[in-house]
Amino acid sequence: MIIKFTHSAIGVFFAALAILLFTNTAVAQDATVVDPEHYTVEFENDYVRIVRISYGPNEKSVMHDHMAHVTVFLTDSKGTFTYPDGKTEEWDVKTGVSFWAPATTHLPENSLDAPFELILVEVKNVEEDD
């Protein structure tokens, strides 16, 4: 049996394929999975996951997620976050600064001509109102 496809059927197939591909890449994921070059799990148990983040000069990541976390900057850091809605936020943080942050989805970019490094302590099963 020979199946003949019309041009419109082939066009619909490729359009559907493109939607699937672009939809899957637009969904943010675990940073250590989608960007292992920059994100390394140092320790994990039922309560926390400690992630080392290292960026080279002017390097950029991909859109990804983080659980609620404490951030500790090991070096000076300057860059831009791009959020899923397209909004951006610049940061400029000095060595030793630490803070709490709720779960987030973003795409970071290092604006420095130097590398930076930080530690993220992701806290599991945290209520977002905490």
How do the domains of the chain map onto residue ranges?
29-123
Q: How confident is residue 125, by pLDDT bands cut at 50, 70 and 90?
A: confident
State the fold for domain 29-123: Jelly Rolls (2.60.120)
* 9, pLDDT greater than 90: no
Per-residue model confidence as pLDDT tens digits over 104-117: 999 999 999 999 99
User: Rounded to whole angstroms, how far apart are CA atoms 37 and 33?
Assistant: 10
Cα distances (Å, whole numbers) of residue 130 to 35, 60, 94, 115, 120: 28, 30, 26, 32, 18
Per-residue model confidence as pLDDT tens digits over 11-49: 444 444 444 444 444 456 999 999 999 999 999 999 999
Spatial CA neighbour of 104 closest among 94, 91, 117: 91
